Chains A and B, each alone.
Chain A
Amino acid sequence: MKIIVCIKQVPDTKGGVKFNPDGTLDRGAMLAIMNPDDKAGLEAALRLKDQYGAEVTVLTMGLPKAADVLREAIAMGADKGILVTDRVLGGADTWATSTTIAGAIRNLEYDLIITGRQAIDGDTAQVGPQIAEHLQIPVISYAQDIKIDGGKVIVQRQYDDRYHVLEAQMPCLITALSELNDPRYMTPGGIFDACAAEITTWGRADLKDVDDSNLGLKGSPTKIAKASDKVRKGAGEKVVPESPEDAVAYIVGKFKEKHIV
């Protein structure tokens, strides 16, 4: 079985959010990590590899330094890494990102493609289903459990108040929730392999069956009209009461002022 896992290098927005003195986001000071949902997708692929035997290829699109997450994935147990990087691919929205990744995947053989549900920088959850659409294969989003049965996958698909057990013919694309599993750590042997591993690098010319008009900033139907760091509602009052009774009196007093009680 051949599995492709799409991963993304993202700034760590959890806890490590840093601001410049002027209140804007200091992106340079933030750690670059493997996107959590993607890491869960990778772990799911590695478990299928452990259980059924599989070749796991990790693929990312980004700047040259995104090769770091491919090496991390190899250190966890992935077999091969492919970096898609080219100046003309920069500034892509989800449409142009998905056409690029689909163009790269057309060069590969696969039974299963796994992506994370969404990346923590954009939170769009669009690229996975859009890749499936370009490749004309079935998509199952929001997977909380993945099993293989012959040429089929059986997936628990999460909804707000329920889940569906779905069966799809391979090849198909699955988007993984970070709740799917706890990703394994890199192993010392894996880190050794990762250092030695050769990362395949592809550019625009290596993408199959994609028109220039669907790539990069120019090929992105959505355009940014304006972007700003969020201006938050200012803090209200903060009190440090001497006793719980004072604290209660303060809150009840405010509720009376506001005619809540």
Chain B
Amino acid sequence: MNLEEYKGVYVFAQQVDNEISGIAYELLGKGKELADRLETEVVAVLIGYQVKSLADKLAEYGADKVIVVDDPELEVYRTEPYAHALSSVINQYKPEIVLVGATAIGRDLGPTVSARVATGLTADCTVLEIGDFPLNPIPGQEQKHNQLLMTRPAFGGNTIATIACPDNRPQMATVRPGVMQKIDPIVGAKAVVEEYNPGFTPNSRYVTIKEVVKAVSDTVDIMDAKVLVSGGRGVGSPENFKILEDLAEVLGGTVSCSRAVVDSGWKPKDLQVGQTGKTVRPQIYFAIGISGAIQHVAGMEESDIIVAINKDEDAPIFDVADYGVVGDLNKIVPQLTAALKSAMAEK
């Protein structure tokens, strides 16, 4: 493998129902920064059926070039045809870096593609940088420059590790949604659009989709919310979430919850914050009746302001809260809602 042959930062531009997922824009934002550093281009790989018209959108968010793999076999995500598409693009274009969202799609596609093209893959990264490997020179070992350094949490968020892939190309990472920043879209920006079809011949590895069942949900994506009012088991009952909803409404926010609440069947899984739920970084995060298990904290500690209300003075949530209040949420929350309402009205 001649590593020098590999050029460019490639981003898997995930789309579902021919609508680009937010993670694609986040990866382009980060990819552009890495590409600038490496003096190369950022390329979006758009895979689907009748998706070419989405290319302009990707250009507005920073793509210099868009490679479109368009085929009827790619209409709905399936591992095999998508893995064939992305690995064929990698073999054909030889990118230096490939970024994939750590979504329910990307965490299936990424490992399959990395195994197929025989390279390393670092999962669920939260920081991506260009630097040296090893970080500091070691006598008798070559120090390689311009490597992708991928930082990720492990052990349920208790440790962090920085990982490199010095001897294989491409360097591949999946990236947690909600962590990287997209750029402000450049209206009217255009990218070079190139179509590439490696040919799709169904074989035994093509599974059949018998049914697509969409969850009926009218909830806002908690990852987009500016204010989150999050409840834990301490809220006591599904009915009592009403007081959290009232508070959220006053602040123009949304209700989210901890894993315990989902496990108890009080709220659906798409509202869950944490290691096995979603990573959020709102401007204000209320943790109400949430003890603050490490798995929960891992999903919300990047919030700008964290307000915790809990009757247990020793709850670990107070270790990350900016403003911690020890007290009875049933009394405090409704009064807080009323007070904020009148304070907003004064304005």
Task: List chain A positions with a Cβ less than 8 A from chain B.
Answer: 11, 13-15, 17, 25, 93-95, 98, 120-130, 132-134, 136-142, 154, 158-169, 220-230, 232-233, 235-241, 244-245, 247-252, 254-256, 258, 260-261
- Listed by A's residue number, 25 A-B pairs whose Cβ atoms lie within 8 Å are A123-B153, A123-B154, A123-B156, A133-B83, A138-B206, A139-B112, A141-B104, A142-B108, A154-B210, A161-B214, A161-B217, A167-B210, A221-B168, A222-B164, A223-B166, A225-B134, A229-B160, A232-B319, A233-B320, A235-B324, A236-B322, A241-B325, A244-B335, A247-B332, A252-B336
Chain B residue nearest to A238 in the complex (CB)? B324
Which of B76, B80, B108, B165 has the most CB atoms of chain A within a 10 A radius of its CB?
B108
How far, in angstroms, from A168 to B327 measured CA to CA in the complex?
A: 54
- Indicate which residue in B107, B120, B133, B158 contacts A125 across the interface (CB closer than 8 Å): B107
Say yes or no: A238 contacts B318, CB within 8 Å: yes
- The A-contacting residues of B in range 289-346, CB under 8 angstroms, are 293-295, 297, 301, 305-307, 309, 313, 318-328, 331-332, 335-336, 339-340, 343-344
Say yes or no: A166 contacts B112, CB within 8 Å: no
Kindly list chain B residues whose C-beta atoms are within 8 Å of the C-beta of A229: 158-160
Further contacts, 19 of them, CB under 8 A, given A124-B124, A134-B115: A13-B294, A17-B156, A94-B121, A124-B123, A130-B111, A138-B205, A139-B79, A158-B104, A165-B209, A166-B208, A222-B121, A225-B162, A228-B160, A230-B157, A238-B326, A244-B331, A247-B325, A247-B336, A250-B323
Kindly list chain B residues whose C-beta atoms are within 8 Å of the C-beta of A247: 309, 325, 327, 332, 335-336
Contact with A along B102-119 (1 / 0, CB 8 A): 011101101110111011
Kindly list chain B residues whose C-beta atoms are within 8 Å of the C-beta of A141: 79, 104, 107-108
Chain B residue nearest to A237 in the complex (CB)? B323
How far, in angstroms, from A178 to B87 measured CA to CA in the complex?
A: 30
Chain A nearest Cβ from B238, distance in angstroms: 19
How far, in angstroms, from A245 to B164 measured CA to CA in the complex?
A: 53
Chain B residue nearest to A93 in the complex (CB)? B120
Chain B nearest Cβ from A113, distance in angstroms: 14
Knowing A228-B159, A244-B335 touch, does A239 contact B326 (C-beta < 8 A)? yes
Chain A residue nearest to B163 in the complex (CB)? A222
Kindly list chain A residues whose C-beta atoms are within 8 Å of the C-beta of B121: 94-95, 126, 222
Chain A nearest Cβ from B261, distance in angstroms: 15
Say yes or no: A226 contacts B135, CB within 8 Å: yes
- Indicate which residue in B154, B207, B214 contacts A122 across the interface (CB closer than 8 Å): B154
Say yes or no: A138 contacts B339, CB within 8 Å: no
Knowing A158-B104, A261-B344 touch, does A138 contact B159 (C-beta < 8 A)? no
Interface assignment of B204: CB less than 8 Å from any CB of chain A:
yes
Kindly list chain B residues whose C-beta atoms are within 8 Å of the C-beta of A134: 115
How far, in angstroms, from A258 to B343 measured CA to CA in the complex?
A: 14
Chain A nearest Cβ from B150, distance in angstroms: 8
Interface size bracket, B side: 35 or more
How far, in angstroms, from A184 to B216 measured CA to CA in the complex?
A: 32
Say yes or no: B115 contacts A95, CB within 8 Å: yes
How far, in angstroms, from A164 to B309 measured CA to CA in the complex?
A: 39
- The A-contacting residues of B in range 209-228, CB under 8 angstroms, are 209-215, 217
Kindly list chain A residues whose C-beta atoms are within 8 Å of the C-beta of B321: 235-236, 238
Chain A nearest Cβ from B64, distance in angstroms: 27
Chain B residue nearest to A244 in the complex (CB)? B331
Chain A residue nearest to B166 in the complex (CB)? A223
Which of A138, A239, A240 has the most CB atoms of chain B within a 10 A radius of its CB?
A138
Say yes or no: B115 contacts A133, CB within 8 Å: yes
Chain A nearest Cβ from B213, distance in angstroms: 5
Knowing A133-B112, A160-B103 touch, does A11 contact B160 (C-beta < 8 A)? no
Say yes or no: B340 contacts A224, CB within 8 Å: no
